[in-house]
């Protein structure tokens, strides 16, 4: 029997690199032996992608992308389709869990400097995946055709209309109509179900290929490939399979317990995963009393809303600060000149266009800043274990700002939901600290007093 199997494998291997691929990416892919808790989230994210694709396929068997029928077809899935409720809740909760896992995965990168050389491209691909995932989630949220689906889409598409000159035709092109309508629903369905999943799978593939080319980072942030044994295997490396495939299995079990607990016992998750206004069918003549995007968009939404006339002087201040940082970091005249010209043009433009437009710009920049991280971070060490107090403080402030922005994005701007200030003021403060984390990074990562990195990885 085993001889037949061996023969069969040989036959395949002569025609397709099966064993070679298995070895390169699993059995002989040497990952650092000191992976900790934070290293679960990459494999978990991939598993959720699979869950979303599978549940999505089964949902499309019953869902109707038609403004007249969409809302009813979701109710039909919930009530009449055998196990339809499970498919839908797995998919809806899965979307939120996807962002939980992705945010933790990104935070891991910030902790251990996984964005630094030579992993810049992995980080960039990851950022593109993040943007594609946001588009995927946003378009998917329109499909149930509830009130929040409809008005959320209306608000976000109107963001494009804020762009000077081309905005209105652009928004019309995206909607395929003068308002969010059947045409919009139909095309969002096409993007959500066909285009973006294909793009996401392709990007994830490239993300992993790039990772396996340079090798995984680790909590110590040191390069394990520098210290190899006689066989050319890193001394601090262990084969991904079976060591990490088994470790990740533990993560999968724990994750599934939490995920399924939410799916079975609180699928709406206190209105955070499924908003109550979305149980009403879309009505183009009436806006819900409070339009709130789903929680994973609220930090960015908060930045959008925080950008009012009052904030513009602070924004100009940030531009000046950015130019100063550029001057400190670059000594050549061309670089300094370019920074000064771009900065001046930016400031002049702030006087020409309305804050509404700048809200969109700042929101966009808050995501673009993530892409620039590998070049903003000048620290000689990767891991937070060997960085000084400055980076630790900056990262803490950044995380707190992000959380407060997210919280404020769920509440009315004029309310008082946190101590001391009005919500909008909190959002404005945190927009500034969010920006400063990135703008000042080329300075504090250089000034920071780092500790010496160890020769070999260790377990802490």
Partner 1 sequence: MTEDHVDKQRRRFLTVVTAGVGAVGGIAAAVPFVNSMSPSARAKAAGAPVRIDISKLKVGQMLREEWRGNPVWVVRRSEEMIESLNAVEDELLDPQSSVATQQPTYVDGEFRSVTPEVLVVVGICTHLGCAPVQNFAIGADSGLGEDWQGGFYCPCHGSKFDLAGRVYKGVPAPTNLVVPPHRFEGESTIVVGEDPEGVA
Residue closer to partner 1 by CB (options 251, 299) is 299
Segment lying near partner 1 (by CB under 8 A), choices 131-139, 230-238, 334-342, 412-420: 412-420
φ, ψ of residue 164 to 5 degrees: the values are -60, 145
Closest approach, Cβ 413 to partner 1, in A, equals 6
Residue closer to partner 1 by CB (options 52, 298) is 298
Per CB under 8 A, 286 contacts partner 1:
yes
Q: Judged by CB under 8 A, how many residues of this single chain contact partner 1? A: 35
Q: Scanning the structure block, which residue is given the tokens 């809303």?
A: 305
Residue closer to partner 1 by CB (options 205, 416) is 416
Closest approach, Cβ 414 to partner 1, in A, equals 6
Peptide bond into 242 cis (omega under 30): yes
At 239 the three-state DSSP class reads strand
**CB neighbours of residue 429 within 10 Å:** 17
Residue closer to partner 1 by CB (options 86, 291) is 291
Can you tell me which of 6, 19, 36, 284 binds partner 1, judged by CB under 8 A? 284
CA distance 143 to 71: 8
Can you tell me which of 288, 299, 374, 409 binds partner 1, judged by CB under 8 A? 288
Q: Which of 370, 364, 375, 322 is nearest to 345 (CA)?
A: 322
Residue closer to partner 1 by CB (options 80, 283) is 283
CA distance 228 to 235: 5
Q: In the chain, what's the furthest Cα-to-Cα distance?
A: 78
Residues of this chain, 124-183, that bind partner 1 according to CB under 8 A: 151, 154-155, 157-159, 161, 172-179, 181, 183
Closest approach, Cβ 69 to partner 1, in A, equals 18
DSSP for 372-391, written as a single string = HHHHH---S--SGGGS-HHH
Q: Scanning the structure block, which residue is given the tokens 């389709």?
A: 81
CA distance 273 to 29: 37
3-state helix, strand, coil split of the chain in percent (to 5) is 70, 0, 30
Q: Which of 23, 204, 34, 194 is nearest to 105 (CA)?
A: 204
Residue closer to partner 1 by CB (options 330, 413) is 413
Closest approach, Cβ 87 to partner 1, in A, equals 30
CA distance 209 to 212: 5
Per CB under 8 A, 290 contacts partner 1:
yes
Residues of this chain, 235-254, that bind partner 1 according to CB under 8 A: none
Can you tell me which of 121, 195, 291, 429 binds partner 1, judged by CB under 8 A? 291
Burial 357-391 (b: 16+ CB within 10 A, else e): bbbbbbbebbeebbbebbebbebebbbbbbbbebb
Closest approach, Cβ 59 to partner 1, in A, equals 24
Can you tell me which of 46, 76, 262, 287 binds partner 1, judged by CB under 8 A? 287
**CB neighbours of residue 204 within 10 Å:** 18
Residue closer to partner 1 by CB (options 169, 242) is 169
Query: What is the contact mask toward partner 1 in residues 200 to 239, using x (rule: CB under 8 A)?
Result: ----------------------------------------
The C-alpha R_g of the chain, in whole angstroms, comes to 24
Residue closer to partner 1 by CB (options 115, 305) is 305
Closest approach, Cβ 161 to partner 1, in A, equals 8
Residues of this chain, 303-342, that bind partner 1 according to CB under 8 A: 305, 308-309
Per CB under 8 A, 2 contacts partner 1:
no
Q: Yes or no: say if 439 and 322 are a contact pair by the CB < 8 Å rule.
A: yes
The contact set with partner 1 (CB under 8 A) reads 151, 154-155, 157-159, 161, 172-179, 181, 183, 187, 284-291, 305, 308-309, 354-356, 412-414
């Amino acid at each position: 029997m085993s001889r037949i199997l061996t023969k069969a494998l040989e036959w395949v291997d002569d025609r397709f690199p099966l064993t070679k691929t298995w070895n390169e990416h699993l059995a002989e892919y040497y990952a650092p032996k000191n992976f900790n808790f934070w290293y679960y989230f990459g494999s978990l994210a991939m598993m959720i992608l699979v869950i979303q694709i599978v549940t999505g396929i089964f949902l499309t068997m019953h869902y109707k992308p038609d403004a007249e029928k969409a809302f009813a077809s979701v109710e039909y899935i919930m009530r009449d389709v055998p196990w339809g409720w499970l498919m839908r809740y797995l998919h809806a909760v899965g979307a939120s869990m996807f962002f939980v896992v992705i945010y933790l995965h990104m935070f891991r990168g910030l902790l251990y400097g996984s964005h630094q050389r030579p992993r810049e491209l992995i980080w960039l691909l990851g950022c593109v995946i993040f943007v594609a995932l946001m588009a995927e989630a946003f378009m998917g949220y329109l499909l149930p055709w509830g009130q929040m689906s409809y008005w959320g889409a209306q608000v976000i598409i109107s963001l494009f209309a804020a762009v000077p000159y081309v905005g209105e035709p652009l928004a019309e092109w995206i909607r395929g109509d003068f308002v969010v309508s059947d045409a919009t629903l139909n095309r969002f369905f096409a993007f959500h179900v066909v285009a973006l999943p294909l793009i996401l799978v392709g990007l994830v593939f490239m993300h992993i290929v790039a990772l396996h080319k340079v090798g995984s980072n680790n909590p110590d942030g040191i390069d394990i490939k520098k210290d190899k044994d006689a066989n050319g295997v890193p001394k601090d490396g262990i084969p991904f399979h079976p060591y990490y495939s088994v470790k990740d299995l533990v993560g999968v079990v724990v994750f599934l317990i939490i995920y399924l607990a939410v799916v079975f016992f609180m699928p709406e998750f206190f209105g955070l995963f499924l908003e109550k206004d979305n149980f009403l069918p879309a009505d183009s003549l009436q806006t819900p009393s409070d339009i709130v995007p789903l929680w994973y968009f609220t930090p960015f939404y908060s930045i959008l809303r925080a950008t009012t006339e009052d904030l513009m002087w602070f924004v100009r201040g940030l531009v000046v600060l950015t130019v100063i940082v550029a001057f400190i970091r670059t000594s050549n005249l061309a670089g300094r000149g370019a920074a000064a010209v771009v900065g001046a043009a930016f400031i002049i433009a702030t006087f020409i266009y309305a804050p509404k437009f700048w809200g969109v710009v700042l929101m966009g920049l808050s995501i673009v800043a993530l892409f620039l991280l590998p070049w903003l971070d000048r620290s000689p060490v990767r891991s937070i274990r060997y960085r000084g107090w400055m980076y630790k403080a900056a990262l803490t402030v950044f995380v707190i700002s992000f959380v407060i922005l997210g919280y404020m994005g769920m509440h009315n701007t004029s309310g008082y939901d946190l101590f001391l200030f009005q919500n909008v003021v909190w959002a404005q403060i945190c927009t500034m600290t969010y920006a400063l984390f990135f703008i000042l990074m080329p300075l504090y990562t250089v000034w920071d007093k780092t500790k010496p990195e160890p020769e070999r990885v260790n377990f802490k």
